[in-house]
Structure formats: structure tokens, C-alpha cells
Amino acid sequence: VLDSQYGMYVWPCAVVLAQYLWAHRRSLPGKRVLEIGAGVSLPGVVAAKCGAQVILSDSEELPQCLQRCRSSCLMNHLPHVPVLGLTWGRLSPELLSLAPIDIILGSDVFFDPKDFEDILTTVFFLLEKNPQAQFWTTYQVRSADWSVEALLYKWNLKSIHIPLHSFGADKEHLASSSLPGRHTIEMMIISLAQSEGT
């Protein structure tokens, strides 16, 4: 049911990211995965079911979303998956004490442009601590004016576009929504840009 809190609904981006995880399920056992802005946690739940060591997170300011993460884990027989309150752009003790990670997940976190830099600040911090890690993210193209390219450059990050057809997510029932508005979904993998001379 659509709720006023973004994190209380399974958005099409979550379904597409879950499809990507399923397509790469053989590479997930033993991987350390953090989902940011997890909400109902579909991608994180799929990763955990595929054998990854998953931590779910959402804003510490949204206790309903954190409870939704916990409920999703219980409903999917994953009672031991940790749920952390991590607020984008804030260096908290929880963020500073995170164990090493291999993959950061984020579905539809690039929703409101005012949050873009806070998201990428957090992602950059995590990638600096884990230089081989990647940020797998799906997003809806809501406006041609919204872009993260300049922020990626500012934070020394690079992105690779992942075509939806390459993992079977271009099907109407996966990448569409009955909600009003435009719903073109894209996927990219963000990582640290290599510095000059390395």
C-alpha cells in the first residue's frame, strides 16, 4: 500500500535491482552487502536469500522505515540480518564502525535532488574505506534536469551504465508501475575513480 513515507512501498526500482541480484546470485554467497535507504528491503532480502552477509539500513530519523526493514526480515525468515539507522551525509558511530563491505545497494535513493550530495558523500566514505567495493543502484528518470554526473566528478567517483536488457529486467512487469508519471528505470554501478597515474 502506498504510504506517505517513501520507504513503506515496493517501488519498481527495488524490483529491478532485485532482478539484477538474482541474475548475479552465484557471485553473492559470502559477499558483504549493505543496503542504504532500504525501506521494505527487497534487494537486501534477495541478496541474503542468495547467501550474502547483509546489513540493512535506513535513516535513523525514520523509525517506521527501520521497523519495516525488520519486519521484512522476519517475514522472509531472516531474523539475524542487522538493521542500522544510517542517515545520508552524516558521519555516525554506526557508519564509522561498519565492518568491511563488498557491495552497497540502493534502489531509488536518487529521488530528491536535495539528497543527492548527501547520498554520494556517504557512498564515497564507504568506498574509501572499501576501495574494491561497488555501489549498485537503480533509479527512476523523473526529470531530464536531474543528474548526478557533476557530483560523481566532485567526489572522484565513476559510474557504469547497466542496460536492463542485459539481466532480463526490461520486461514490462518488472520495470513498470501503475503509479502516475514517468517511470523509466536505469541502473548504474558506481565505484571510486582511479586517480591519475595509478
**Single pTM value for the model:** 0.88
Q: Which domain holds residue 130?
A: 31-192
pLDDT truncated to tens, each residue of the chain (198 aa)? 344 455 555 778 899 999 999 999 999 999 999 999 998 899 999 999 999 999 999 999 888 888 989 999 999 999 999 999 999 999 899 999 999 999 999 998 988 889 999 999 999 999 999 999 999 999 987 777 777 889 999 999 999 999 998 998 876 655 555 544 446 889 999 999 975 444
Is residue 142 one of the residues assigned to a domain? yes
Q: Total structural domains in the chain?
A: 1
Per-residue pLDDT, 16:
92
Q: What CATH number should be reported for the domain holding residue 80?
A: 3.40.50.150
Per-residue pLDDT, 169:
82
Is residue 37 one of the residues assigned to a domain? yes
Is residue 152 one of the residues assigned to a domain? yes
Per-residue pLDDT, 128:
95
Is residue 136 one of the residues assigned to a domain? yes
Three-state secondary structure readout of the chain: CCCCCHHHCCCHHHHHHHHHHHHCHHHCCCCEEEECCCCCCHHHHHHHHCCCEEEEEECCCCHHHHHHHHHHHHHCCCCCCCEEECCCCCCCHHHHCCCCCCEEEEECCCCCHHHHHHHHHHHHHHHHHCCCCEEEEEEEECCCCCCCHHHHHHCCEEEEECCHHHHCCCCHHHHCCCCCCCCEEEEEEEEECCCCCC
